[in-house]
Amino acid sequence: MLVTSVEAKVVGLNDLKAVAEGVYYSPHPLPLVDSSIIAFLKDVARTCSLGRARFCAHPSPQADQHDMLIVTHRDSYVTPHRHITKSETFVVLEGSADLILFDGAGAVEKIVRMGAPTSGLPFFYRMPPRQFHSLAIQSEFLVFLENTKGPFSLDDREHASWAPTFDDDGNGKAYIAAALQRSNVT
């Protein structure tokens, strides 16, 4: 079997292709990322309407595997949601956040403070399908890796009917703060 090599390329800011607000892809089949991309994503997350930005290392939404470097600002509302058929993995690189797990009716099941590996906190999870979850960002930014199976489909994600919608930022942040307070986590 003939194996061809692929050129590894450090992704520069000029290489990034915006496909939606705060969503960037690279044309390189083997992208290498340094801290300049994280700094860029932080700048975008500060001004993006959803308060987050991502670099997609996979070539397209149709790819079989999705690998993303994501930066989320503390003011971002992460809607309680679940993935119907897919699991996702999550690795914190920088910052801290509370992972909030909900039951199907919206009651908080568990809250876990997560942080970078050097924090001594849990830094990795693998979320099973059908588990409602959200994040409450505690640091100015949360920088993390997220991986899941592709292809991307909006039909595989369900936003919780008992929580404010993703575009209701003010009520959403109040909802998450109340969930944390009810659970005695600050």
Which residues, 6+ apart, have CB-to-CB distance to 67 below 8 Å? 56, 57, 58, 145, 146, 147
Measured CA to CA, the distance from residue 28 to residue 15 in angstroms comes to: 8
Q: pLDDT by residue (tens digit) across 148-171?
A: 999 988 788 999 999 999 889 899
pTM of the model: 0.93
Quick one: pLDDT band at residue 1, thresholds 50, 70, 90?
low
What's the N-to-C CA distance of the chain in angstroms?
Answer: 56
Q: Which of 13-27, 32-46, 146-160 has the weakest average pLDDT? A: 146-160
Tell me the range of 3-7, 170-174, 178-182 where mean pLDDT is highest: 170-174
Closest CA to 16 of 58, 68, 55: 55
Closest CA to 79 of 8, 165, 181: 165
Q: Which of 95-104, 122-131, 152-161 has the weakest average pLDDT? A: 152-161
Inter-residue contact 14 to 31 (CB < 8 Å)? no
What pLDDT was estimated at residue 186?
44
Quick one: pLDDT band at residue 3, thresholds 50, 70, 90?
low
| Mean of per-residue pLDDT scores for the chain | 94
Quick one: pLDDT band at residue 69, thresholds 50, 70, 90?
very high
Inter-residue contact 108 to 100 (CB < 8 Å)? yes
